[in-house]
Structure 1
Amino acid sequence: MTQATTQATDAVRPNRAMMERDRASASLGLIVERDDPGHAVVSMRVRDDMTNGFQITHGGFVFALADTAFAIACNEDDRVTVAAGADISFLKPTVSGQTLTATAIRRARTGRSGIYDVTVVDEQGDTVAEFRGRSRTTSQTF
């Protein structure tokens, strides 16, 4: 099994253990470029098999990229945090060969609930999608 690549070099974080077991992200070739508490950056090169019948990137893959950045950002400590919901707006189509980058930022976290915004851009910095994730922290630990 191939694992999603982590390029960050800081101390081990619980979200890194999560990513080591994340087969979906690994199969997409996602690269974790930053994994700070409340902030994550993840990139993905769009492959031919990620395009739809119009030869543009399938929205599900853009969502998966944003969702992974969200998951990394919201798993800020040793408590397992999962998605309670998410919405995405697709703003610009992309095609095979392009590299997409998702940047997730914590907007609010109180009690067991959090809100995180993720912006997905192409290699020119144009916004491809905006994603808002709502998190719920569980009683489980890593």
Structure 2
Amino acid sequence: MAVTAKATWTPDALARACADAMWREDRASQGLGMEITAIGPGHATLAMTIQPHMVNGHGIAHGGFIFTLADSAFAFACNSHNERTVAAQGNITFIRPGKLGDRLVAEAREISRSGRSGIYDVRVSAGDSVIAEFRGHSRSIGGTLVATGQIDDPTK
């Protein structure tokens, strides 16, 4: 990549660069087999297949794994604006159980973002079935993920 003093980023390219920066350090999501399937300003979609070690004593996906997928999608969505952001609160409602082999898809979207705070909704589904609904509140902690003034937009 060329280095310039005045790089111009499209919002989509910046969101992708932020996701790439976060992903490099996110050993938990990688270890659970998550993948980023879509990313853009204020939204992210992650997917994960329920594996045998994720099933609880009832033979269904442990709620903690579903929460982790939703929380990860939330994190990628709220960091997509190149502001370092963390969760301030997260609530989940489980609607249906996930089963061994299900491919879970978590779609996060920005509902509101103002000042240092944001609200994001995440829907976790398996095929046409909604598994869970998650709402997260974010808080900006200062700083950026990508040095936009030093690196060219890779899409140009």
TM over 0.5: yes
**Do structure 1's residue 38 and structure 2's residue 38 form an aligned pair?**
no
| 60, 66, 81: which one aligns with 2:64 | 60
How many residues are treated as equivalent by the alignment?
Answer: 132
Higher CA-based Rg: 2
Instruction: Provide, for residues 66-100 of structure 1, a one-character-per-residue CA deviation record: whole Å limited to 9, x for no partner.
Output: 00100010002222000001000000011111101
Instruction: Provide, for residues 31-71 of structure 1, a one-character-per-residue CA deviation record: whole Å limited to 9, x for no partner.
Output: 10011111111110000000101110000000000001000
Which residue type is aligned with residue 23 of structure 1?
R
- Kindly state the Cα deviation for residue 13 of structure 1 after the two structures are TM-superposed: 1.8
Identity of aligned residues (%): 47
Q: Which has the higher strand share?
A: 1
Gaps of 5+ in 1: 1-9
**Residue in structure 2 matched with residue 24 of structure 1 by the alignment:** 28
Work out the CA distance in 1 between the residues paired with 2:97 and 2:82: 37
**Do structure 1's residue 132 and structure 2's residue 139 form an aligned pair?**
no
Q: Which has the higher contact order (CA 8 A, sep 6+)?
A: 2
Gaps of 5+ in 2: 1-11, 146-156
Work out the CA distance in 1 between the residues paired with 2:43 and 2:81: 13
Work out the CA distance in 2 between the residues paired with 1:60 and 1:133: 15
